[in-house]
Amino acid sequence: MERSAAGRADDLREVCDTLKKRDAKRAALTAALPTIRESYDHVRRVSFEMTDAAEINELVVPPDELVVELRLLGWAIYEATRVAVNDIKPAYAALERAEQEVSLAAVEQIKELAHLAQTLPWPEFSLRALGAVRCLALAHSKKDTVDGYVDAWLIHEALDKLVTRRTDEINSGVWSDSPHQPDLKGDAYELAEQHHLAQAGTACREPELDLCRWVEWVESGLRDDDDQDETIIRLSLRLQLGIMSGERAMDLVDTVVDEYEIPANKDEKRLLGPNSKQNPAIMTARAYLLLLPMCPRLADYELPPPGEVEGWDEYTQELIRGFEKAYAQIEEAHPRLLTHSRSLDPAHLRSIIQLRLTYLLLFPGRRLGTELAAAEVGEGCDLDDLDSLSAWLAGQRADANVIGSVNMPEYLLGIDELRGDEEYRVWRERWPMLDRFGDEPGRDERWRRD
């Protein structure tokens, strides 16, 4: 006997409530797949039946109980792929076959769910499902290979067109008489925010691996050492796109907060929460800092700076201002969210320390404002002192991201030129434990080979 509409909705709510938990494991995803597949088959069957019974060119409107199911199904697919992508190990393409199995199984689950997401009827009512396509791009980027990044960008581009099409459909007025229209518009904003956030993430992930693994990849034949200039140019273009995507994501968070009530935790109505602006702000700030040391090298290649600025010095100053603005967004709450209790995720705090450290290393003598209280960071940590920030990361057994791990000679030269001295290398000698790959044999000598 077929489940009732209320029963299917309850089943999907239970799936969503289980999968949305931060510590949800893939066992929970595997257990949820039958419910997701059953609901998918049901809404497809109803769609076919209603379409067959309709007149030619008649708008087929899903009944309210089916709209509820579609929205919950979209959310379930979104959460399921989020759990799966978190189970994919970085650089899984380079692991031994036995170690790859978990990651490869997660990729296959994401592919299946992305297919479901793109073939749902009345897709405007299940927009969250397209988060599966976003996760498929992230899964490819986590290969940390040239082909993986190419595939990720192709999926980002396809999703960009899909997001635009779905948004245009919602704004066309076709569903203007539906009581769900306000929710559809909110869903479109949130989907676009998630898409732009993912693009910014890929824009940062690609250079973070290229710059920090350059010498090893040259030694293994994966890169040609003479291609450093071409690589810097290619990565700079990616980072410019990442900055634009990150800033668009922050704007979309503001739009949702301005127009909708934001719950303390995501629910059927809203994905975004009180701390949702921190992720795009962090990604955008990272992209700015990654791009800055490339500017002196791009100037030496005699390339024109982007936009309408007069030269690379002016463009560099523009990037610094952009970083400082993005960084401030990490710490500042939207005025409408001041009533929510503030919490700083440990991963976000680590990113803040990494960003401040990188900024101070690139621009000695400059000060980066902060609203953080000592209690949020830890007593004894001076947010304006290189050694204090370095010691904080070392005490957390964390790395300093690219600034502590880069070994591409061209990029290292760009850091020296941006600073105007070679004191960065002195810091690097003093803090080898902040290299992300510092426990690998011979790693400490590789960055000195320029």
DSSP string, 381-408: --TT-HHHHHHHHHHTT---GGGGT---
- Considering only CA atoms, which of 305, 334, 322, 140 is closest in space to residue 237? 305
Give SS3 for 23. coil
Could you give phi then psi for residue 84, rounded to 5 degrees?
A: -65, -45
Q: Beta-carbon neighbour count of residue 359 at 10 Å?
A: 22
- Considering only CA atoms, which of 165, 156, 162, 143 is closest in space to residue 197? 156
- Considering only CA atoms, which of 254, 241, 323 is closest in space to residue 282? 323
Interior CA angle at 401 toward 399 and 350, to 5°?
65
C-alpha to C-alpha distance for 222 and 413, rounded to whole angstroms: 22
- Considering only CA atoms, which of 209, 271, 228 is closest in space to residue 82? 271
Q: Would you put residue 447 in left (φ > 0), alpha (ψ -120 to 50) or beta?
A: alpha
Output the pLDDT for position 334. Answer: 58
Count of alpha carbons within 13 angstroms of residue 219, beta-carbon side: 11
Query: In tens digits, what is the pLDDT along the chain, a chain of 450 residues?
Result: 577 878 889 999 999 999 998 788 888 999 999 999 999 999 999 999 999 988 887 788 899 899 999 999 999 999 999 999 999 998 898 888 888 999 999 999 999 999 999 999 999 999 999 999 999 999 999 998 889 999 999 999 999 999 999 999 998 888 888 888 888 999 999 999 999 999 999 999 999 989 999 999 899 888 899 999 999 999 999 999 999 999 999 999 999 988 888 887 788 888 888 788 899 999 999 999 999 999 999 999 999 999 888 899 999 999 999 999 999 999 886 555 555 555 678 888 899 999 999 999 999 989 999 888 776 787 778 899 999 999 999 999 999 999 999 999 999 999 999 999 999 999 999 999 999 998 888 888 878 755
Interior CA angle at 320 toward 315 and 326, to 5°?
125
C-alpha to C-alpha distance for 107 and 90, rounded to whole angstroms: 13
Could you give phi then psi for residue 32, rounded to 5 degrees?
A: -85, -20
Tokens of 84: 């799966």
Neighbour-count burial of 449, counting CB atoms closer than 10 A to its CB (0-12 exposed, 13-18 middle, 19+ buried): exposed
C-alpha to C-alpha distance for 79 and 81, rounded to whole angstroms: 6
- Considering only CA atoms, which of 37, 48, 39, 50 is closest in space to residue 2? 39
Neighbour-count burial of 329, counting CB atoms closer than 10 A to its CB (0-12 exposed, 13-18 middle, 19+ buried): buried
What Å distances lie between residue 105 and 4, 138, 187, 357, CA to CA?
Answer: 32, 15, 29, 37
Under a CB-based contact definition with an 8 Å cutoff, are residues 146 and 214 in contact? no
State the DSSP code for 123. G
Q: Beta-carbon neighbour count of residue 219 at 10 Å?
A: 12
Give the domain ranges of the chain. Answer: 1-133
Could you give phi then psi for residue 122, rounded to 5 degrees?
A: 45, 55
Output the pLDDT for position 388. Answer: 94
Output the pLDDT for position 182. Answer: 86
Output the pLDDT for position 421. Answer: 94
C-alpha to C-alpha distance for 238 and 204, rounded to whole angstroms: 8
Q: Beta-carbon neighbour count of residue 332 at 10 Å?
A: 13
| Residue carrying the six token digits 């991201």 | 401
